[in-house]
Structure 1
Amino acid sequence: MSRRPVLLTVEDDPTVGRVIARDLRRRYGQAYRVVRAQNGPEALEALRELTVRSEATALILADYRMPGMNGIDFLERAMDLAPRARRVLLTAYADTDAAIRAVNDVDLDHYLLKPWDPPEEQLYPVLDELLETWAAGSRPGFDGINIIGHQWCATTQALKEFLASNQIPYRHLQGEDARALAQAAGIGDDAALPVLVMDDGVVLSRPSLRDVAERCGLATTAGSPFYDVVVVGGGPAGLGAAVYAASEGLRTLLVERAGVGGQAGRSSRIENYLGFPHGVSGADLAQRAREQVLRFGVEVITTAEAVGLEARGDGRVVRFSDGTEVTAHAVVLSTGVWWARLPADGAEQLAGLGVYYGAAAHEAAGCKDQDVYIVGAANSAGQAALHFAEYAKRVVMLVRGPDLRRRMSEYLVTRIEAHPSIDVRTCTEVTTCAGDGHLERITVTDTRDGRTEELPADRLFVFIGAQPPTDWLSDAFLRDDRGFLLTGPALLDDDGRPPRTWPLSRSPYHLESSVPGVFVAGDVRAESVKRVASAVGEGAMAITLIHRYLEAT
């Protein structure tokens, strides 16, 4: 455990309290931390603080005869704050009847008569057994953020995805643990949810992602008004561009709305990326890349949404939703793509409430022993299916086309076909999503004969299509009919001439957009290869072209 579990003693007589603490430290001081309190209210406040700070309380020893709040009343209230702790009442001989009744009334684990001399015979054997029982059923200590929120809550889901994408440890508490922490943190109203309890005990009710980022020490605004290169988007292409730019001496700002890694960072395992013969998780690859950009001195800001980009003289100005802006010699657009929305009745209303777009690897653990449905037939869907199959009772892939091989790599198809827990339903599309407050059932339609079938479903993960997030760019940026950015040769007409709006005598460089000095890398670029390796390569190539652009201006 990262922090020693606590043994809490409650005794109003200071002399007796010191003796109790001395005996406990003598036997258990190496493995446990002893905390003393002199009365019930003081001990309850200590328990609240311990619970909020995610410090485990293993054992509570409370004296029966205390003014204001006796030991039985205290232990009854302590159950709500530390339900897993073992509870011991300290009594005098005259109070044994009350102690015996407390065994049933407050689920007391044991009572001890004072004094217990020698402790080796009268104290330690009892506590040894109680601590062994506690340790067998306890959870490891946790240094991270605790989330209290409804399972079927889109805001809770967004917070979990943000923390996961930024490699910030967290756990989503449910049931008894959530109730205990909520009481300790003073949360009495569901309207306050979701709540984040930080590892230092600070409680954030319904925080924005920006609030969370700042509390976690992530930068949310640029530290300078000017850079050599601004990279918008922290997926593989953006990370590749940032690494090469900074390593070559360019002052670089990397801008990301959520967390580094992009869609690749959410992948459970990438097995066809050069240099990783046994595969690598998207989270691991993203974390390695983040460490690399920071080592080269890249400035990274998160929860920063770019809302405008324009040329002002020799500068390229990126405007953000908070009203700030930065200027750079050149810009790399590497915003990747978003999953297309599922065109099924009711799907939009249940987004985040059982219908999810993409899936981070951590989501699989919450699907234990469930039936999981995955819509899609490309590599991302295949990787998710294999990962979820390690946890879920059954994974059903719903594929609109006649087979998987049209868009999915053969190594994934082979493994999916051989997996006993994965079913593939081809020529199938989801036409309806329904449920009361969260997804409960879906209707699927056979595209060959129109037959429909209603299936019970708690979770549906969608991996279809790709929507480039380019609406925030002005009309000066030319796009194809799907919104992907045109670059280089794709901007030229049949006679090899650039568009009329192109202001320079030379033609656009290969990855250069219709606005000089703004380059495009990765999935957001029209006709790009939708693979991690190619995205990283385009990011590196963009920096080479930026050097050429800067030398020519």
Structure 2
Amino acid sequence: MKLPYILIVDDDQQVMRAIQRDIRNEYREDYKIAATDSANEALELIKELKLKNETVALFISDQKMPEMEGIAYLEKANEIFPDAKKILLTAYSDIEAAIIAINKVKLDYYLLKPWNPPEEKLFPVVNDLLGDWHALYKPDHEATRIIGFQWSPKSHKIKEFLSGNLIPYIWMDIESDEEAEKYLTSANVTRSDLPLIILKDGTFIKDPTVTNLAACVGLQQKAAKEMYDVLIIGAGPAGLAASVYGSCEGLKTILVEQSSPGGQAGNSARIENYLGFPTGLSGGELTRRAVTQTLRFGTEVLTPQQVKNISVKDGYKVTEMCDGTVIHSKAIVIATGASYARLKIPGIENFTGAGVYYGSASVEAHACRDETVYIAGGGNSACQAAMYLSKFAKEVNIVIRRDKLIQTAANYLVENITNTPNIKIISNSDVISCSGTNVLENITLKNAKTGEETTVPAKALFIYIGTKPGTDWLNELVLKNEKGFIITGSELMKEKSFHTFWKLEREPFLPETSVPGIFASGDVRFGALAGISTAVGEGALAIRFVRKYLEDM
């Protein structure tokens, strides 16, 4: 296997030699290190590496250079190796330039000179960025391949599952990729068998279920222990936070997720307002870090695994899974989050997964290259999706019911969208129908003020509207409000039937449901504030009260 490159450029030869020395001493076993004092020379080398089918993992560049500034250099380098990570070396007086670079070239980190000692100020940064890069990079011969029809719901489901579980794959559209047909011939399968999954060892699976695919790629689906201190249901930000805090505090913790970790946040193309990440990060990156963290502390993570029923026996919780297995625990945290509400308009069900997608912009963006697409919804997630899609689509249209986007989205996102020429806002409007033959071809919009209806061609419609709590599976075990959100804590005490279901002398803990020892956390909990940071806090809070509950058992 070819080693990836770390490429350094700094016109100050003394600085260039110093960082080259430090980087080489630490990373020469796993990377090729190249350094130059000329930005133009570096760009020529980058082009040469591309022609030789080499890979660059990390660019390190000074900002103030005579041939061109570091921002301009990184912008050009990014065009050739867009997946490489980028560090800008700056003096304290150049921090403003670094902030500009964050927005202009999606800079990953700016490093103040000097960086001594490198063990504290350089290597942790580089390790973090290279870890992110490796998580998403797989050479062609090591990656899973998916061969299918681009606008097939089955293909979309497989792509969404692998992407959500951070498993790199190569997508091959049978109708546009000449190589795809050769794989079908080699595997002795026909188009009716698609999607076809080819694993890195050469084995293949025809039209697999998600469960079968999960087993083939090595995901754990069965619990290993007979009893756990806490079972966490749902691996969005709240569930992941609860699992991290539970395990690091010594609780036997198991986390189950019905599809893929990350929740709605995991699908975000770019999160720019999460504390501690000034350059922003994708939902996938945040999810990968959280999953790695919880596994490091000893949490068992089962996916895909779905809960069928929960019962209580002598205070212990018995959770039956849809595959018939059972998990026993002393406490449960329900963190199943919320999903986008299903649009109920004529024609839409015919095209779900075939041009109509709930979220999933990061999964299907490449298929929208040079096309016209629409987004229904005007919240932060919709705006983040629009920014990501704008890199591929010819035109992105955001359909909102309000007069202005600023009424529903964060100011920084509105500014970004305003400054992106191929994003348009269609205000005071709703999507009222979808049409097409086998895939989505048109949508109809209705202006709420004028009543005018307009049918327009659309290659894809991404839906980011409404909030539906993930509690359909829960039946009547715990008390929910009319919208399905779980009622907890002091809100339970407002219920007229409170004394019929609550038999303990103490009051319910803040995140505790109507069943002692079962807690709710994050978007699924009635009264919880929306947002990733809030969900993380809710997960940590739930574990605090789980510990109190266990102490009383």
Q: Which TM bucket (shorter chain)?
A: 0.7 to 0.9
Matching residue of 1:176: 178
Deviation string 1:365-415 (CA, Å, 9 cap, x unpaired) is: 221111110000111001001111111111100012222222211111121
Distance 2:288 2:456 in 1: 38
* Identity, % of aligned positions: 41
Q: Is the 8 A contact 1:227 1:329 kept in 2?
A: yes
Deviation string 1:288-315 (CA, Å, 9 cap, x unpaired) is: 0111011001001101111111211120
* Structure exhibiting the larger radius of gyration computed from Cα positions: 1
Distance 1:212 1:499 in 2: 47
Matching residue of 1:414: 415
Query: Compared with structure 1, are the counterparts of its residues 391 and 172 closer, same or farther at alpha carbon in structure 2 (3 Å cutoff)?
Result: same
* Pairwise CA distance, 1:317: 1.4
2:248 is the counterpart of 1:247: yes
Q: Is the 8 A contact 1:2 1:141 kept in 2?
A: no
Distance 2:141 2:526 in 1: 45
SS of match in other structure, 2:254: strand
Q: Give unmatched runs, 5+ long, in structure 1.
A: 4-55, 57-138
SS of match in other structure, 2:468: coil
2:513 is the counterpart of 1:513: yes
Distance 2:435 2:363 in 1: 25
* Pairwise CA distance, 1:360: 4.4
Q: Is the 8 A contact 1:269 1:281 kept in 2?
A: yes
2:149 is the counterpart of 1:150: yes
Q: Is the 8 A contact 1:441 1:456 kept in 2?
A: yes
- The 5 A counterparts of 1:70-469 are 141-174=140-173, 175-187=177-189, 189-469=190-470
Q: Is the 8 A contact 2:361 2:462 kept in 1?
A: no
Q: Is the 8 A contact 1:235 1:264 kept in 2?
A: yes
Distance 1:263 1:229 in 2: 23
Distance 2:141 2:389 in 1: 25
SS of match in other structure, 2:161: helix
Q: Is the 8 A contact 1:309 1:474 kept in 2?
A: no
Q: Is the 8 A contact 1:161 1:360 kept in 2?
A: no
Matching residue of 2:121: none
Matching residue of 1:500: 500
* Pairwise CA distance, 1:362: 3.6
* Pairwise CA distance, 1:140: 6.8
**Equivalent pairs, count:** 418
Distance 2:153 2:365 in 1: 17
What code does the residue aligned with 1:151 have?
Answer: Q
* Pairwise CA distance, 1:525: 0.8
* Pairwise CA distance, 1:416: 1.2
SS of match in other structure, 2:424: strand
Matching residue of 1:38: none
SS of match in other structure, 1:322: coil
Q: Is the 8 A contact 1:491 1:499 kept in 2?
A: no
Distance 1:153 1:461 in 2: 15
Distance 1:215 1:540 in 2: 33
Distance 1:2 1:267 in 2: 32
Q: Is the 8 A contact 2:269 2:282 kept in 1?
A: yes
Distance 1:376 1:530 in 2: 16
What code does the residue aligned with 2:179 have?
Answer: D
State the TM-score, normalized to the length of structure 1: 0.73
Query: Compared with structure 1, are the counterparts of its residues 140 and 454 closer, same or farther at alpha carbon in structure 2 (3 Å cutoff)?
Result: same
Q: Is the 8 A contact 1:442 1:456 kept in 2?
A: yes
Q: Is the 8 A contact 2:390 2:396 kept in 1?
A: yes
What code does the residue aligned with 1:435 have?
Answer: G
Matching residue of 1:551: 551
* Pairwise CA distance, 1:494: 7.5
What code does the residue aligned with 1:160 have?
Answer: K
Matching residue of 2:538: 538
- The 5 A counterparts of 1:13-52 are none
Q: Quick check: 361-370 or 301-310, which moved more?
A: 361-370
Distance 1:161 1:479 in 2: 30
Query: Compared with structure 1, are the counterparts of its residues 526 and 494 closer, same or farther at alpha carbon in structure 2 (3 Å cutoff)?
Result: closer
Deviation string 1:192-211 (CA, Å, 9 cap, x unpaired) is: 11110111111100111111
What code does the residue aligned with 1:184 have?
Answer: S
What code does the residue aligned with 2:336 have?
Answer: T
Distance 1:541 1:488 in 2: 13
Matching residue of 1:133: none
Give the RMSD, CA atoms, in angstroms.
Answer: 1.8
Matching residue of 2:49: none
Which segments of structure 1 move beyond 6 Å, counting only runs of 4 or more?
A: none
Matching residue of 2:135: none
Distance 2:303 2:338 in 1: 17
Query: Compared with structure 1, are the counterparts of its residues 399 and 185 closer, same or farther at alpha carbon in structure 2 (3 Å cutoff)?
Result: same
Deviation string 1:176-223 (CA, Å, 9 cap, x unpaired) is: 011111111111x22211110111111100111111111111111111
Deviation string 1:414-442 (CA, Å, 9 cap, x unpaired) is: 21122211100111101110111110001
Q: Is the 8 A contact 2:159 2:363 kept in 1?
A: no
State the TM-score, normalized to the length of structure 2: 0.73
SS of match in other structure, 1:363: helix
Q: Give unmatched runs, 5+ long, in structure 2.
A: 4-52, 54-137
Deviation string 1:70-106 (CA, Å, 9 cap, x unpaired) is: xxxxxxxxxxxxxxxxxxxxxxxxxxxxxxxxxxxxx
What code does the residue aligned with 1:307 have?
Answer: K
